[in-house]
Structure 1
Amino acid sequence: MTTRRDFLAEMGASTAAVRLAGIGSILTGSIAANAQSSRPITMVVGFPPGGGPDLVARALAERGRRELNQPIVVENKTGAGGRIALDWLRNQAADGSAFCLTPAAMLASYPHVYKKLSYNPGDFDPVCKICHYHVCVVTRSDAPFSTLKEFVAWAKATKKGTFGVPSRGSGTDFIGNLLSNAEGLGLEPVLYRGGPQLTQAVLGGEVDLAINLSSNFIELAKAGKVKILAVSTAARSSFSPSVPTLAELGYRDLVFEESIGIVAKKGTPEKAVLRMQEAMHKAMEDAIVRSALQTLEHRPDFRAAKQYGEDLAAASERYRTFVQKTNFQPLD
């Protein structure tokens, strides 16, 4: 089982990230003045176009391009709950031409839940954290229940119930499992390739609940096509103040916020990592980028490499606890 100390060692947060913090004086002047090539930088995302991570990457890529004076091309390499993108990055040259924007689960949870993982956290160097997001539990508008309490009663009475998630072993999956365990429901998890596919599934009645980033359901909820039953924030979200939290509904273990950040292949030159880190930091100050995050109901929380590595280590501990509480069986 990966511990916090193991995770920090694997990610290099106590070594490589510290070195990053000390080389700020290497780069002077504007980032654009230090651009080394007009060759595009690839920003890979493990989820389909239109989902939260994809939209965050595209907002950052446009502003980052201007900071770097170099194109940033977002590529979606989907499947396996985000693992394919990280596996792709692991096999690229460590030359600063490729990065991955990913939720923390792919680095912090998957080492705990997969028997065989094609990568490990030590294959990557943290670059920076971008933001936090929360998740929500939704159902279609014509479902035979309108609150989470009503869903629990319905599931117990009918002895059935399913919840859809975009990745097994992620925070969304653990929320569904912990809810199921707390109520003795035996809910069946159903995996989808990404947020857009999961959204269509819940709209079409393929699953009773969908658990995913709130950004996938904002407009649908406004249009009355889905009902948001609960959110995972500690206190009611300012984005959805009328929606109860899972904690206030009695599920105190289900307070959950996840980070999205950027990593590079292990061994990428310090200068290239710092250059991207600074470009993303400046991009985060742009009004258009912040507006995009606001629209997605993501909370900006930029952290440099060392802090991001420490946050990933803390997330790894949180997921280890989830695994223990749910008696989660390792995945192939």
Structure 2
Amino acid sequence: MKKQIALCLALLVAPLGNLFAANMYPSHPIRLIVPFPPGGAPDVVARLMADDMAKSLGQPIIVENKPGASANIGMSYVAKSKPDGYTIILSSASLAINKSMIKNTPFDPVDDFTPISLIAMVPSVMVVPANIPADSVQSFIDYARTHQGKLNYGTSGVGTTQHLAGVMFNKIANTDIVHIPHKGQNALVPELIAGRVQLSFNNISAVQPFVESKELKILAIALPERWSEFPDIPTFSQAGLPGFEVSSWLALFGPANLPKPILQKIYQAAKTAMDNPAIRDRVVSAGNYPVVSTPDDLKAFLDEEIGRWSKAVEQLENR
């Protein structure tokens, strides 16, 4: 009987404890994990958001880069963290891809995370060194076909959207461009500029300064229509590869079972940050489409992305 009474009391007290914790949240700094090296789109957007979210929440938000294993190191770290709102992650499409691409992924993208909010879409651009004798997608394809097996395409790692884009491009264009994975954008971009890597499907923020300095050339962008920010860049459909719209995205997640009151506080802080015109403008200028969603909408979006990428990986494995 005493054990039953103790159990009943515990069941009654637990919700009160959770409510108290939610009301006190946050009482100390929050860690925002970026599962990629500094310099890429996730890192840029995370740092843009962190200060504004900190103002809303009343505690500092510390951005920590935990790169490696195609983002699995950072994502696994958050999946195993305590669901108290003090460890969250700005993830990318890798969360939807890795379960299909990397069979021993140490987490489940649905069961081990709490969706908070979609933040931005990150359209890929096809970028080549300035010394490549091609100024269009078709002329690059022609060049690659005359150099089968001799050109490289660089990525931030196996299983990324960059990697899948390259494999899909080889298949669609009937080319044989060799995949060279790198440890993040800071390692990849210098190799691209130097011409040791001849192609990358990258985000605009990583390559834009070098496009402006004429060291790199963008041949196409993976969007349904031309982006008003970059009106001179054709879409892949306009460039002769219809349907080639491989892009990533950025979204906030917490560990599974994040209490709803804490979830709502983080979501509202993220929404407030992205509603700030100054932050939105800087996110756009960094090459991203700001898109804020509710936690439920992000859950539905993630389910769709997992299905889409699993089919793509299956097709690529059977090619």
Scaled by the length of structure 2, what TM-score is found?
0.88
1:185 maps to which residue?
A: 175
Written as runs of structure 1 = structure 2, the 5 A alignment for 1:252-291 is 252-291=242-281
Q: Which amino acid aligns with 1:304?
A: T
Q: Which amino acid aligns with 2:95?
A: L
Distance 2:281 2:128 in 1: 27
Q: 1:328 to 1:59 in 2, by over 3 A?
A: farther
Q: Does 1:144 align with 2:151?
A: no
1:306 maps to which residue?
A: 296
2:96 maps to which residue?
A: 108
Task: Answer with 144-153 or 312-321: which moved more.
Answer: 144-153
Task: Answer with 305-314 or 216-225: which moved more.
Answer: 216-225
Secondary structure of the residue aligned to 1:50 is coil
Shift of 1:195: 2.0
Shift of 1:327: 2.6
Distance 2:272 2:102 in 1: 36
Q: 1:326 to 1:251 in 2, by over 3 A?
A: farther
Q: Does 1:156 align with 2:152?
A: no
Shift of 1:154: 1.6
Q: 1:130 to 1:243 in 2, by over 3 A?
A: same
Shift of 1:320: 2.1
Q: Which amino acid aligns with 1:181?
A: K
1:3 maps to which residue?
A: none
Written as runs of structure 1 = structure 2, the 5 A alignment for 1:1-332 is 36-103=25-92, 105-121=93-109, 122-159=111-148, 160-327=150-317
Q: Which amino acid aligns with 1:206?
A: R
Q: Which amino acid aligns with 1:190?
A: I
Distance 1:253 1:174 in 2: 14
Contact 1:68 1:279 in 2 (8 A): yes
Distance 1:211 1:295 in 2: 18
Structure 1 residue runs of 4 or more that deviate by more than 4 Å after TM superposition:
none
Secondary structure of the residue aligned to 2:126 is strand
Contact 2:119 2:292 in 1 (8 A): yes
1:7 maps to which residue?
A: none
State the number of aligned residues: 298
Report the RMSD for the aligned CA atoms in angstroms: 1.9
Structure 1: runs of 5+ lacking an equivalent = 1-25, 28-32
1:10 maps to which residue?
A: none
Once the two structures are superposed, residues 15-70 of structure 1 have per-residue CA deviations (whole angstroms, 9 ceiling, x without a partner) of xxxxxxxxxxx99xxxxx95534411000001111211001001110000000001
Distance 1:35 1:164 in 2: 46
Percent identical among aligned pairs is 25
Contact 2:87 2:254 in 1 (8 A): yes
Q: Which amino acid aligns with 2:134?
A: F
Q: Which amino acid aligns with 1:296?
A: A
Shift of 1:146: 2.5
Q: Which amino acid aligns with 2:96?
A: A
Once the two structures are superposed, residues 212-265 of structure 1 have per-residue CA deviations (whole angstroms, 9 ceiling, x without a partner) of 111111121111110001111111222221122112223223123332101100
Secondary structure of the residue aligned to 2:292 is strand
Secondary structure of the residue aligned to 1:322 is helix
Shift of 1:310: 0.5
1:8 maps to which residue?
A: none
Scaled by the length of structure 1, what TM-score is found?
0.85
Q: 1:83 to 1:70 in 2, by over 3 A?
A: same
2:5 maps to which residue?
A: none
